[in-house]
């Protein structure tokens, strides 16, 4: 079962929910659980889970293919220029010069497809890395921690998320932490998961962004439920909305200075609070039953 | 004209809350909401839309099933896994399509057509603080950096036309394409961070990005009282690396209460200690 944790707004507690749910399940010991941190721009989950995993990492470089122009073979016909939808190719016919603006190239392959003169070859450009780490202790063997890092300065994150997702093992529980927003990189992380846990903050900004996400998931036809984080116990606009829209509320976490402190030290709630551990296991049960329900009606 | 962008590595550090507070203090300024994926600034600024523009960047495609000869060329050329094969029929997965248009150009029977893709809209609006350029992006759209470019250049033009002092930009989280577009050509980046280890981790990555773009960086710690040790660590880090440290804002519920009334903290609690801190920070920013 692939469970993704998402939200349009940043800082609602995606990583908190993801890492704690993961650890609660892992400590139960009945399952092999994998963790994926697909927020490759700013990956944080490792700060919370570092001590569980070996320092030794299996590094994989993520490359995209970018065109290399052979200035001798090129006839400067301009077809590639015409095919490139991103204006990434600059050509000057008189000077017989053609080059690529690296950061605009999305590696779609249109230029090499159209070139009749064999003047374009493709070379690898490194855009980031994926780290794969194994579980340290002997119990819960096979549990892996996988995160990706975008090279600073490179604009496109989707290819890294894509190649991280090839590491998913079917039939195993995987927790997938995502980047904030509703961009294509987030869709890439979400489109083939089984269930999505949205994390919302009970504030006006939180509600607005939750609605954005709900709209997107409805279009993607995904099953999802909501965790309200930092709930203050007063008039709760997010809860009201969920009732009206008939979206399952999976869990509520009250705002507590204690929790904020535990988080700020990059520690896990489930390791500091037995009650929380129970709550996160309940969350998993809820996710499971919601997912089954959805599957029954499909 | 000075371009100031409020950004952060980690999300939810308080960019929009602090931007709206600055808006209450700034004079002769224009504002741009560049967090196009989850824009919230309009909730507080309550804009009255004066003009709107359609933003369509890359057009998406659709396969005409009657004309398709199932040759699978489109399936093979697409590098974004956006062409789906279901029982030998081919469909375009709209959310994965980046609009590179290669499948349409490669199709031997021209069975693929462009569909009008209105990726979003952007607006120029009046608010009680001045003019605001903001946008609404359809969900699942990528290359939102182009929309940011549009929003920013539009705001810049107005600022120059009207000889305004500041362009204040509410930025996106992260270090990807949206942030790169936002910081392109700005004079000062104000990084909002929190007092947590993960915020510091993200802050370092953001600072590195700003360094590669040669942009002056300054730092505010929001919710600074969650963990005083880390707050201190961040302060020291800024000092050691020659980054202007603007101030610390403790956790304050007035931000959220104000939000419900669509007010910035300066409007909601003008005499609170937090508002005083923000006023001092704003004065510092003007001097930078």
Q: Is residue A41 part of a domain?
A: yes
**CATH number of the domain that A103 lies in?**
3.30.70.20
Do both A57 and A81 map to the same domain? Answer: no
- Contact list in A for residue B230 (CB cut-off 8 A) is 264-265
Average pLDDT rounded to a whole number, residues A53-78: 91
Do both A87 and A140 map to the same domain? Answer: no
Of B180, A108, A84, nearest to A99 by C-alpha is A84
* C-alpha–C-alpha distance, residues B276 and B266, integer Å: 9
Do both A9 and A156 map to the same domain? Answer: yes
Q: What is the pLDDT of residue A233?
A: 75
Do both A111 and A237 map to the same domain? Answer: no
Selected residue of A150, A236, A264, A269 to mutate for chain B interface (largest B Cβ count, 10 A) = A264
Do both A171 and A233 map to the same domain? Answer: yes
Q: Is residue A103 part of a domain?
A: yes
Cross-chain CB nearest to B102 (options A110, A237, A266)? A110
Percent of chain A with pLDDT over 70: 98
- Contact list in A for residue B100 (CB cut-off 8 A) is 85-86, 106, 108, 110
- Contact list in B for residue A83 (CB cut-off 8 A) is 101-102, 105
Query: Of the CATH numbers 1.20.1530.20, 2.40.30.10, 3.40.50.720, 3.30.70.20, which one belongs to the domain with range B60-115?
Result: 3.30.70.20
Q: A109 and B102: CB-CB below 8 Å?
A: yes
Query: Domain B2-56+121-287: which topology?
Result: Rossmann fold (3.40.50)
Instruction: Name the stretches of chain B with pLDDT < 50.
Output: none
Percent of chain A with pLDDT over 90: 67
Do both A160 and A213 map to the same domain? Answer: yes
Q: What is the pLDDT of residue B177?
A: 87
Q: What is the pLDDT of residue A118?
A: 92
Q: What is the pLDDT of residue B142?
A: 63
State the residue range of the domain holding A241. 2-62+132-297
Q: What is the pLDDT of residue A65?
A: 93
Q: What is the pLDDT of residue A64?
A: 93
Rounded to the nearest integer, the mean pLDDT of chain A is 90
Prediction pTM value:
0.89
Cross-chain CB nearest to A264 (options B93, B227, B253)? B227
Cross-chain CB nearest to B40 (options A156, A205, A265)? A205
DSSP A80-100: HHHH-TT--EEEETTTTEEEE
Structural domain boundaries of chain B?
2-56+121-287, 60-115
Of A25, A54, B172, nearest to A17 by C-alpha is A25
Do both A75 and A41 map to the same domain? Answer: no
Cross-chain CB nearest to B173 (options A10, A205, A232)? A10
Do both A90 and A139 map to the same domain? Answer: no
Distance from CA of B223 to the nearest CA of A (A): 10
Do both A104 and A13 map to the same domain? Answer: no
Of B202, B160, B208, B201, nearest to B183 by C-alpha is B208
Q: What is the pLDDT of residue A167?
A: 92
The count of structural domains within chain A is 2
Q: What is the pLDDT of residue B143?
A: 65
Q: What is the pLDDT of residue B140?
A: 65
Do both A150 and A293 map to the same domain? Answer: yes
Q: What is the pLDDT of residue B7?
A: 96
pLDDT at A139 over 80: no
Q: Is residue A126 part of a domain?
A: no
pLDDT at A298 over 60: no
Selected residue with higher pLDDT from A31 and B218: B218
Distance from CA of B158 to the nearest CA of A (A): 27
Do both A50 and A168 map to the same domain? Answer: yes
Do both A165 and A20 map to the same domain? Answer: yes
Q: A85 and B95: CB-CB below 8 Å?
A: no
Of B232, B198, B221, nearest to A264 by C-alpha is B198
- Reading the block at residue A280, the tokens are 């996160």
Q: B198 and A47: CB-CB below 8 Å?
A: yes
Residue A166 CB burial class (10 angstroms; 0-12, 13-18, ≥19):
exposed
Closest alpha carbon within chain B to A205 = B40
User: Interface pTM (ipTM) of the complex?
Assistant: 0.85
**CATH number of the domain that A39 lies in?**
3.40.50.300
């Amino acid at each position: 079962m692939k469970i993704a944790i998402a939200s349009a707004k940043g800082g609602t507690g995606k990583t908190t929910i993801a890492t704690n749910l993961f650890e609660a399940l892992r400590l139960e010991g009945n399952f092999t659980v994998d963790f994926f941190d697909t927020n490759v721009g700013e990956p944080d989950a490792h700060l919370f889970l570092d001590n569980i995993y070996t320092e030794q990492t299996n590094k994989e470089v993520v490359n995209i293919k970018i065109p290399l122009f052979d200035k001798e073979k090129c006839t400067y016909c301009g077809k590639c220029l015409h095919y490139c939808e991103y204006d990434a190719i600059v050509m000057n016919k008189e000077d017989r010069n053609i080059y690529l603006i690296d950061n605009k190239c999305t590696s779609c392959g249109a230029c090499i497809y159209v070139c009749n003169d064999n003047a374009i070859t493709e070379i690898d450009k490194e855009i980031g890395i994926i780290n794969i780490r194994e579980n340290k202790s002997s119990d819960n063997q096979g549990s892996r921690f996988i995160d990706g890092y975008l090279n600073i300065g490179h604009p496109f994150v989707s290819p890294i998320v894509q190649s991280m997702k090839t590491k998913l093992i079917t039939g195993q529980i995987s927790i997938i932490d995502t980047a904030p927003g509703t961009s294509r990189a987030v869709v890439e992380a979400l489109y083939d998961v089984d269930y999505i846990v949205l994390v919302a903050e009970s504030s006006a900004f939180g509600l607005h962004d939750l609605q954005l996400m709900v709209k997107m998931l409805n279009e993607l036809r995904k099953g999802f439920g909501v965790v309200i984080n930092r709930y203050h116990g007063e008039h709760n606009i997010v809860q009201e909305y969920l009732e009206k829209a008939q979206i399952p509320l999976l869990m509520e976490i009250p705002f507590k200075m204690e929790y904020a402190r535990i988080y700020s030290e990059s520690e896990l709630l489930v390791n500091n609070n037995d009650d929380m551990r129970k709550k996160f296991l309940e969350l998993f049960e809820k996710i499971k039953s919601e997912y089954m329900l959805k599957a029954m009606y499909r | 004209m000075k371009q100031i962008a409020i950004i952060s590595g980690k999300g939810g550090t308080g960019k929009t809350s602090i931007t709206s507070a600055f808006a209450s203090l700034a004079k002769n300024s224009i504002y741009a909401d560049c967090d196009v994926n989850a824009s919230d600034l309009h909730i507080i600024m309550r804009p009255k839309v004066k003009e709107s523009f359609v933003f369509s960047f890359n057009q998406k495609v659709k396969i005409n099933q009657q004309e398709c000869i199932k040759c699978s060329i489109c399936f093979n050329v697409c590098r974004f896994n956006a062409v789906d094969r279901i029982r030998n029929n081919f469909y375009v997965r709209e959310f994965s399509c980046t609009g590179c248009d290669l499948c349409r150009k490669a199709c031997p029977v021209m069975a693929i057509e462009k569909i009008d893709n209105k990726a979003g809209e952007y607006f120029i609006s009046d608010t009680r603080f001045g003019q605001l350029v903001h946008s609404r992006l359809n969900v699942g759209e990528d290359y939102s950096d182009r929309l940011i470019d549009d929003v920013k250049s539009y705001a810049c033009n107005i600022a120059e036309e009207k000889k305004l002092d500041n362009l204040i930009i509410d930025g996106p989280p992260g270090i990807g394409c949206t942030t790169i577009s936002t910081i392109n050509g700005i004079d000062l980046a104000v990084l909002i961070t929190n007092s947590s280890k993960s915020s510091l981790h993200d802050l370092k990555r953001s600072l590195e990005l700003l360094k590669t773009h040669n942009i002056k960086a300054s730092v505010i710690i929001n919710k600074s009282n969650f963990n005083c040790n880390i707050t201190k660590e961040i302060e020291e880090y800024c000092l050691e690396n020659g980054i202007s440290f603007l101030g610390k804002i403790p956790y304050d519920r007035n931000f959220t209460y104000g939000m419900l009334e669509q007010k910035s903290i300066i409007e909601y609690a003008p005499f609170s200690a937090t508002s005083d801190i923000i006023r001092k920070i704003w004065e510092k920013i003007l001097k930078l």
